[in-house]
Structures are given as structure tokens and as C-alpha cells.
A and B are shown apart, each in its own frame.
Chain A
Amino acid sequence: MGFFKKEKKGTEQQGIEQQNIEIKGDKEKIHCKLSLYENINIVKEILKDCGDVIYKDFAIGKNQNLKFTIIYIDGMSDNEILLNGILRPLMLHSREIPPEVPKSGDKLYDLVRYGTIIASEMDETTDINKAILSILIGDTVLFIDGIDKIIIIGTKGWPTRSVEEPSTETVIRGPRDGFVETIRMNTALVRRRIRDPRLKLKQMQIGRRSQTDIGIFYIEDIVKQELLDEVIRRMETIDIDAVLDSGYIEQLIEDNPYSPFPQIIATERPDEVAGELYEGRVVVLVDNSPFALIIPTTLNSLYQSPEDYYDRWIIATILRFIRIFSSFLALILPSLYVVFTSFHTGVLPTKLVLSIAASREGVPFPAVIEAFIMEFTLELLREAGLRLPAAIGNTISIVGGLIIGEAAVRAGIVSPIKVIIVALTAIASFANPSYNVSVGFRLLRFALIAASGMLGLYGLMLGLILIIVHLIKLKSFDIPYFSPLAAFIPSEFKDTLYRAPLFNMIKRPLSTAVNEIRMKNNRNAIKDKEGEKDND
């Protein structure tokens, strides 16, 4: 498999090849024959009716008696390598070799394999099935008449999107590159940030038909071995037709499929991936998906943005407070409206109650129904705006936000205060760095509205308790979801509700990492220098 050659470095090589053999064990081996004709017929039989497969026969040698065939898929192979790396040396340069040299088959083979073809990735096999798989992933396969070995030449090259700024997790300060759909580019983006031979990449292929490449990244002496084993064990249990996105993997290996909260984060940012790797987490990259999976995930990590670590700690802490508060607001604000307008009006100051009551005058629905109508409208607008092309999306927001909001109030269906509440809820729910978790909270908001509509403040409290208990119950790869707040780990508290100054975060998080110390506190060293200056 020439495909994997790029990653082969040192001890890693062994692991990868073993992995490949294990995964494809279910396909039986078809042994390569001596006759070129027979081999090509086998390949043609398997790849019947595949119009994009190109068979190029050619003959070289003085008497044109050495027959070759290369097979590749049009559009998936790099024409440059194909022409200048394979065809040109074979057809032109080979003429410079005296005809008597390649008499025996083995010599000819060695000459072609090691001396003639100009390509950085090459491999050989005797298995036709393996050769076909290589063709399907964009490599070129060379059959030689009279030799029962197949040369695989790495020629993968197809049109890809270039590295762009990720659209979901934008930052103001921080790198702008984001993952793309090709796993190789993604692994390169990660490796650029971790120049450490202990950064390992385990490769496997999942999907019986799609044979999607999966890369499992981890840093050897930081990751917990049992976590890594568990991730690999769960990945190996997957038996599915096709994996089209990392979302498939996420859903198939998560702990609690019935929870509205994501137990694995998906990120588009290589810098976040690198950061998580340095904390001992395992990252799964899936070909054709710009989203990497970070395992394990806690609720706390969903509130961390990579930017938190690039900004100064005071700013990062305040931003984090705002995020947590906004999530809380998005969850309970509509319910609080219901509770305080229809159950416990006495809690609010009299003037406020009066203004609410005045604004609700003429509204035909009870506060619960009003809340449901408006929150549902908000979700509708959001979904409509998301799916439409950008040009029409703006229209939707104008129609929805301005016309419906204004007209609904004028028509007396909802009160203006409710519109304010809805707007606040919407803004608050968008102020979360993780899209997934905000969706979870947004959905639960409806349950809370229903609970507080039935039982008032008591119902709201019970609802909140149930949500908290649910979050507490969740585990992601044996790490409690509420960790490190519960189970409370004091040393990890520095990166939760607040973000401690970088020089204080000396240890890696204990729950995920093995190798504890990550940095030296350099504050004193800096101060010493200043002291010296003063003395001078």
C-alpha cells in the first residue's frame, strides 16, 4: 500500500501495516498470475462497467516484447506523475539500457521497481484485490508480463478545496487555517503543530464499501493507554457500508446515544486538535470530513474556545463567564418569563409587574402558549435561514425578525416583552463556541417551558435538577461529563469556570493525561532578571 508510505516513520511503520492487514482480513486474496493477459482479465472482470478506469498497455524493449499495463482511475491520479514519473522513464529512458540487461524476469522487475520509475511512493504486492483497492484510492498499478508481482505507485491527486478559515469556529486572535476534506492535508496540518516523534497516527479503514480512511492521532507518552485501547476497540466494532463523515463515527462510538448533548466534540480547527492532543486526548480524523473528533469530551471542554488560550487570561476568563452565563440564559429565560408572569408575580418589583401586565393586555394566550409560539417561530427562522442560500437567508431574517416580530405585537398575539425575551434567548444561544451543545440546550428549553407552565417555579427547579442530573450521569469514555467540577478535581479547576494565567497551568489535566508537568513557571525567572537590572 503506497498510500500509507508518507506516514511511515521509524517504529510507526510496523503498527500501520499490521493494522491494514487486520482490517482487510475479510477480503480473500487473489494471487497474481504470471501472464499479463490473465491478470488484466481478472482486474477487468472485477472492475467491470467502471467507465473511469483507464487501462494503458504499452510495450518496450528492442523487439517490443516486454509488455506492460498500467491501470488508474481518471481524475483521481496526478497526471504529472503519471506522465513524467512512469510513462516517460519507462518508454523513453528504458531505450538507453542495453537490450541484453534485463534477461531474466527478476532483473527486469528490479530495474523497473528501483531504477526506472520516478515516484516517491511505491509498493509491491502479489494480491490483485489489494492492487484494486489501491486503484480505487487513486494510485496507479503496474502489471508486467511474465512477473507475478504488482507495482503500486502513489499517484493520488484529485481536485481539493484549499485550506480556508473554518466557517463554524471563527476566532479573532489565532490561526486561520481549517481542516479540509482530504485526510492527508488534515494530518499534515496537525503534524505541523506537533513536531514530536511521539505523535502517533494509527490508520485504519472503516466502511465495507467506502473503505474510508480513518486516522487516530495521539501523543504516545501523554495519552492514557486504556483510553486509546478503548477508542480503538470501539472503532473496530463498527461494521457499516459507508462512512461519509466523522458524524457517523461519532454516533457509532459515543456512550449515550439517547442524550441531547454531544459526548464527542467535532472541530474544524487544527490548533484545537493539537491543543487537545497535548492534553492527552485522542483525535479521530476521517477522510472526506473537515471535522475531527476529540475524545473524550466534557461539558467543560465544550465551553473552551481555542482563543481562550491565545488571549490574556483575564479577558479569557470574562469571555468564558459570558459563555456559561449565556447558555444558562438560553436555557431558562423563556421559562422564567412563564414563571414570573403567570405564577409568582409577587417576586418581581411592582413596577415591572405592572409594565408586563400592561404589555400583555389583550394577548389572548396564556404565557406558556405565547412562549411556545414565539420560541417555535425562532427555531423555524433559524432553520430556514440556515438551509437557504445566503442571499435569500437575509430576506428570511428580515421577514422573520422585523415583520413577524413587529406584526405579531401589533396584532396583539404576543406581548413586546416576550419578543425581547425571544431575542435575548436567541442571542444567548448563539454565544456558545460549540454549535452542538447549544442545540442540546435549545431543545431542552422547550421541556423547561412545559415544566414551568405546569408547575411554576417548582416545575422549573425540578426540570433544572433533571437536566443537571442527566449531565452528571453522562460519561464520555469513562470520564464524567461534568468533570472536573464533579467529580471535583482541584488541580483541573484552573481551566473550567475561569482560565488561570498560562504560567500557572503547570500540570496537564489528570483525568486524561499521564505525563503531568507541561511547563515551568517562568514568572520568577523573569522577575530575577528585572531584579538584576535594578541592581545595575
Chain B
Amino acid sequence: MIKDNDIISPFQITAITIMTLVGVGIFSLPRSLADVAGTNSIIMILIGGIISLLAMSVIVTLNCRFPRKALPDYSGEIMGKIPAKILIFIYIIYFTVFIGYETRVMGEAVKLFLLSNTPLEVTMLSIILACTYAVRGGVECIGRAMEVFFPFLFIPMILIMLPGITDADFSNLLPVFYGLPSKFFKALPTMALSFSGYELLLFYVGFMKKPKKAYTYAAVGIIIVTIFYVIITVLCFSMFSVKVVKGMIWPLLSYVRSVNLPGLFIERLDGVMLGIWVFAVYTTMVSLYFALTYSLSRLLGTKEQKQYALIMVPFIYLASVIPQNFAQVDKMPVYLIEYTGSILLYVVPPLLLFIAWIRKKGGTNK
């Protein structure tokens, strides 16, 4: 009767996709887009969404060849034991630094807006430890957590953001298409950053009963995230205009702060927004964290992933304190995602699929 803790439902795949993609980046997304793409940002988001859908389908196709197996399980089959171990190790480092980055941004935001006197170490360590609690619950627990946190994050967030529409000036969004080709390639890496996270499907689809369903359900997730990004960007741009957004650190937060509703019980919504944002960061961290411990358990050849959750805390903490100041924190994703992440996201899965196809590994009928 007590089943293995290893099945996630299609709904959960959607939730995992959304909650992983929506992370620390949402506050700064309009600014980084404004920097590289200007008024073409919305088109760039849509293009980013389409690219993500393509990359996602490659990942799911790869996983469909190896049903009920995650990346660390089948990479050995595809490319031999030792190269696979090296690949897993790279993923482990990538995930550790990624979680560290999320933690740091979170800590900086909390320090800036909520707790100015509390040391950064306390806020960062407390959220890492809170993550270990969920990670120790295994993949089913994470799947369920994502489902529950999804409404907790999105319903209040949309309720907070909607009232601002009255103050928005949509002419700020124009001109569209102006100088698009020149900015296209400059903006692509930024798009990769804001959509990074669905490489985790390499892991999570392996826990589905019917991995083929992941095509639709993960796609729905990515589409929802794309729409959400478009909404955020449209709101920020139309409220402040692109030029002003460029100068803001966290435009979305500034937007929420400027939303003012007479007669509302809560006067300043940015505090509430930050509180809800903790959910977004937490879920991203947890889903990365699980992929991390799962890879570790496969690298070291153990059956369980639980025990690595606490062991990794100091490493994640170390990764989070690498940047000296906030300027460096802001640069971190450039090294982390534009260089490493893009390779792991856009190069490795097609390559693996290609090798698997050449070597005829895995189920060919899928």
C-alpha cells in the first residue's frame, strides 16, 4: 500500500514549470528587458516563449525515450558512465550556484525593503533551511507544494497589480518593431535568463507516469509564464515609460508601490508584494534544490536523496556570498545563465537526444 515516493501528475508538471520559471527575476525583468530591447520587449518575451517551447519539447522528447527515468539515470546510458558523471557534476555546480544566486537576491531585497537591520546571513540561511524541509519530502511533496503555492502566489499578485491599470498610459509601449533586428541578438541572452529553469523538466518529467503528457502540460506552464511576463512588462512600461524603467532596480516593486487605492485597508502594497514574492523564490529554490540532491544521489550511487539536503546547505550559502556587493549580484546571472545555463539548456539536451538517436538508446517509438 505504501508506494514509492516517485510519481507526479501532469498538473504538477504545469505547476512545477510555472513556479520554477517565476523566481527572483520578476522584479527586475522589465528593467533588464528595457536595457536590451527597449519598446520591443513584449515581442522579445513572446519570441523567448516560443524558443522556450521548442527547447522544452526537445527536453520532453529526450525524456520520452527514457520513461520513468530522470537525466542522471539515463545520461549514463547515452554517453557512457564517466562523461555522464562529469555532466551531472556540472549540473550540480550549476544548480548550487543558481540556488545561491536566488538566495542572495532574496536576501538583498529583504534587507532593502523589509529588514534593514537584520544581517543578511540570517535571512539567507533561514530560507535555505526552510527549503531543505520541503526537499527532504521527496518529489511527490515538491509536486504538491508547487500546486498549492501556485494560487497562493498568483491570485494575490494579480489582485495587487490590477488596480494600477487605471494610471497606465499605454502609449508608452510604442514604438513596436522599431530597430528590432539589431536588438534581437542582444536581447536573446536576457530572454534565456528570464525563462531559465525549465531545464529541470529533464528531471521532473522522469517522475511522470506518462511522460508524453508533459508536452501539453509543460507547454501550458510556459505559456502562462509568458503571459505573466507580458502583463508585468506592459504594466511597468505603461506606468513609467521605458526610459524611467531603465533606471529602476526593481521596477515591478516600484509599480506596486505607486498603486494607490483609496479606502483600502492596506496602504502600501509593496510590503505585501514582497511577502508574496517569498513564495515565488522559495518554490524556485526548492525545485532546483531537489534536482541538485537528486543528481548528487545518482552521482554518488545512493538510492535516497534526502540526506544530501542538509549537507548542501553550506555549499549553497557559500555560493550565495560569492558576490561582494549588489552590483556583482546583478552581474551574476550573466556568468551563470548566459554562459553556463544557455549551454545546459539549449545545447546539452539536443546533443543528448542526437547521441541517443545515433546510438539507438531508449525507446525509439516515442
A residues in contact (CB < 8 Å) with B: 226-227, 229-230, 343-344, 346-350, 455-462, 465-466, 468-470, 472-473, 477-478, 480, 482, 485-488
The smallest C-beta distance from B25 to any residue of chain A, in angstroms, reads 19
Is the CB–CB distance between A350 and B137 below 8 Å?
A: no
Query: Nearest residue in B to A228 (C-beta to C-beta)?
Result: B1
Q: Which residues in A have their C-beta under 8 angstroms from that of B278?
A: 458, 461-462, 465
Is the CB–CB distance between B137 and A462 below 8 Å?
A: no
Is the CB–CB distance between A461 and B148 below 8 Å?
A: no
Q: Given known contacts A347-B267, A472-B137, A487-B11, is B275 in contact with A461 (CB within 8 Å)?
A: yes
Pick from A347, A466, A472, A478: contact of B148, CB under 8 Å: A472
Q: Which residues in B have their C-beta under 8 angstroms from that of A466?
A: 130, 133
B residues in contact (CB < 8 Å) with A: 1-3, 9, 11-12, 110, 114-115, 118, 122-123, 126-127, 130, 133-134, 137, 140-141, 143-145, 147-149, 152, 264-269, 271-272, 274-276, 278-279, 282
The CA-CA distance from A469 to B133 in the complex, in Å, is: 8
Q: Given known contacts A469-B134, A472-B137, A488-B11, is B147 in contact with A478 (CB within 8 Å)?
A: no
Q: Which residues in A have their C-beta under 8 angstroms from that of B266?
A: 347-349
Is the CB–CB distance between B148 and A486 below 8 Å?
A: yes
Q: Given known contacts A466-B130, A488-B9, is B145 in contact with A343 (CB within 8 Å)?
A: no
The CA-CA distance from A35 to B139 in the complex, in Å, is: 69
Q: Which residues in B have their C-beta under 8 angstroms from that of A468?
A: 145, 148-149, 152
Q: Which residues in A have their C-beta under 8 angstroms from that of B268?
A: 346-347
Pick from B122, B130, B271, B274: contact of A465, CB under 8 Å: B130
Q: Which residues in B have their C-beta under 8 angstroms from that of A455?
A: 115, 118, 122-123, 126
The CA-CA distance from A455 to B269 in the complex, in Å, is: 19
Query: Nearest residue in A to B143 (C-beta to C-beta)?
Result: A487
A-B contact count (CB 8 A): 106
Q: Which residues in A have their C-beta under 8 angstroms from that of B147?
A: 485-488
Pick from B118, B123, B141, B274: contact of A472, CB under 8 Å: B141
The smallest C-beta distance from B242 to any residue of chain A, in angstroms, reads 29
Q: Which residues in B have their C-beta under 8 angstroms from that of A347?
A: 266-269, 271-272
Query: Nearest residue in A to B5 (C-beta to C-beta)?
Result: A475
The CA-CA distance from A347 to B134 in the complex, in Å, is: 30
Q: Which residues in B have their C-beta under 8 angstroms from that of A350?
A: 267
The CA-CA distance from A460 to B140 in the complex, in Å, is: 25
Is the CB–CB distance between B137 and A478 below 8 Å?
A: no
Q: Given known contacts A465-B278, A473-B141, A486-B145, is B123 in contact with A457 (CB within 8 Å)?
A: no
The CA-CA distance from A485 to B15 in the complex, in Å, is: 12
The CA-CA distance from A307 to B118 in the complex, in Å, is: 49
Q: Which residues in A have their C-beta under 8 angstroms from that of B141?
A: 469, 472-473
Q: Which residues in A have their C-beta under 8 angstroms from that of B115?
A: 343, 455-456, 458
A/B interface sample: 8 pairs, CB < 8 A: A343-B115, A347-B267, A348-B265, A455-B118, A460-B275, A462-B130, A469-B137, A477-B1
The CA-CA distance from A478 to B279 in the complex, in Å, is: 27
Is the CB–CB distance between A348 and B267 below 8 Å?
A: yes
Q: Which residues in A have their C-beta under 8 angstroms from that of B3?
A: 478
Query: Nearest residue in B to A347 (C-beta to C-beta)?
Result: B271
The smallest C-beta distance from B119 to any residue of chain A, in angstroms, reads 11
The CA-CA distance from A534 to B3 in the complex, in Å, is: 57
The CA-CA distance from A534 to B268 in the complex, in Å, is: 58
Pick from B12, B134, B145, B279: contact of A461, CB under 8 Å: B279
The CA-CA distance from A297 to B265 in the complex, in Å, is: 37
Q: Which 6 pairs show the lowest CB-CB distances between chains A and B? A: A486-B144, A486-B147, A230-B1, A461-B278, A347-B271, A473-B137
The CA-CA distance from A488 to B264 in the complex, in Å, is: 33
Is the CB–CB distance between A344 and B137 below 8 Å?
A: no
Is the CB–CB distance between B144 and A457 below 8 Å?
A: no
Contacts A346-B271, A349-B265, A458-B114 known; 18 new A-B pairs at CB < 8 A: A230-B1, A343-B114, A343-B115, A348-B266, A349-B264, A455-B122, A456-B114, A456-B115, A458-B115, A459-B126, A461-B276, A465-B130, A466-B130, A468-B145, A478-B2, A482-B148, A486-B145, A488-B9
Pick from B114, B127, B143, B152: contact of A457, CB under 8 Å: B114
Q: Given known contacts A462-B130, A465-B282, is B114 in contact with A227 (CB within 8 Å)?
A: no
The smallest C-beta distance from B198 to any residue of chain A, in angstroms, reads 20
The smallest C-beta distance from A353 to any residue of chain B, in angstroms, reads 9
The CA-CA distance from A462 to B132 in the complex, in Å, is: 13
Query: Nearest residue in A to B147 (C-beta to C-beta)?
Result: A486
Is the CB–CB distance between B110 and A472 below 8 Å?
A: no
The CA-CA distance from A282 to B145 in the complex, in Å, is: 27
Q: Which residues in B have their C-beta under 8 angstroms from that of A349?
A: 264-267
Q: Which residues in B have their C-beta under 8 angstroms from that of A465?
A: 130, 278-279, 282
Q: Which residues in B have their C-beta under 8 angstroms from that of A457?
A: 114, 271, 274-275
Is the CB–CB distance between B145 and A462 below 8 Å?
A: no
Q: Which residues in A have their C-beta under 8 angstroms from that of B264?
A: 349
Is the CB–CB distance between B1 and A469 below 8 Å?
A: no
Query: Nearest residue in B to A226 (C-beta to C-beta)?
Result: B1
Q: Which residues in A have their C-beta under 8 angstroms from that of B267?
A: 346-350
Is the CB–CB distance between B133 and A344 below 8 Å?
A: no
The CA-CA distance from A154 to B141 in the complex, in Å, is: 52
The CA-CA distance from A456 to B140 in the complex, in Å, is: 31
The smallest C-beta distance from A446 to any residue of chain B, in angstroms, reads 18
The CA-CA distance from A465 to B275 in the complex, in Å, is: 11
The smallest C-beta distance from B153 to any residue of chain A, in angstroms, reads 11
Query: Nearest residue in A to B283 (C-beta to C-beta)?
Result: A465
Q: Which residues in A have their C-beta under 8 angstroms from that of B145?
A: 468-469, 472, 486
Q: Which residues in B have their C-beta under 8 angstroms from that of A226?
A: 1
The CA-CA distance from A487 to B141 in the complex, in Å, is: 9
Q: Which residues in A have their C-beta under 8 angstroms from that of B114?
A: 343-344, 456-458
Q: Which residues in A have their C-beta under 8 angstroms from that of B265?
A: 348-349
The CA-CA distance from A488 to B14 in the complex, in Å, is: 12
The CA-CA distance from A349 to B262 in the complex, in Å, is: 10
The CA-CA distance from A350 to B148 in the complex, in Å, is: 34
The CA-CA distance from A473 to B115 in the complex, in Å, is: 30
The smallest C-beta distance from B241 to any residue of chain A, in angstroms, reads 26
Q: Which residues in A have their C-beta under 8 angstroms from that of B9?
A: 487-488
Q: Which residues in A have their C-beta under 8 angstroms from that of B143?
A: 486-487
The CA-CA distance from A350 to B274 in the complex, in Å, is: 20
The CA-CA distance from A469 to B275 in the complex, in Å, is: 17
Is the CB–CB distance between A480 and B123 below 8 Å?
A: no
Is the CB–CB distance between A227 and B1 below 8 Å?
A: yes
Is the CB–CB distance between B148 and A485 below 8 Å?
A: yes
The CA-CA distance from A522 to B274 in the complex, in Å, is: 49
Q: Which residues in B have their C-beta under 8 angstroms from that of A469?
A: 130, 133-134, 137, 141, 145
Q: Which residues in B have their C-beta under 8 angstroms from that of A229?
A: 1
The smallest C-beta distance from B210 to any residue of chain A, in angstroms, reads 15
Q: Which residues in A have their C-beta under 8 angstroms from that of B276?
A: 461
The CA-CA distance from A379 to B76 in the complex, in Å, is: 58
The CA-CA distance from A421 to B17 in the complex, in Å, is: 39
Q: Given known contacts A347-B267, A348-B267, A458-B275, is B123 in contact with A487 (CB within 8 Å)?
A: no
The CA-CA distance from A502 to B11 in the complex, in Å, is: 27
Q: Which residues in B have their C-beta under 8 angstroms from that of A227?
A: 1
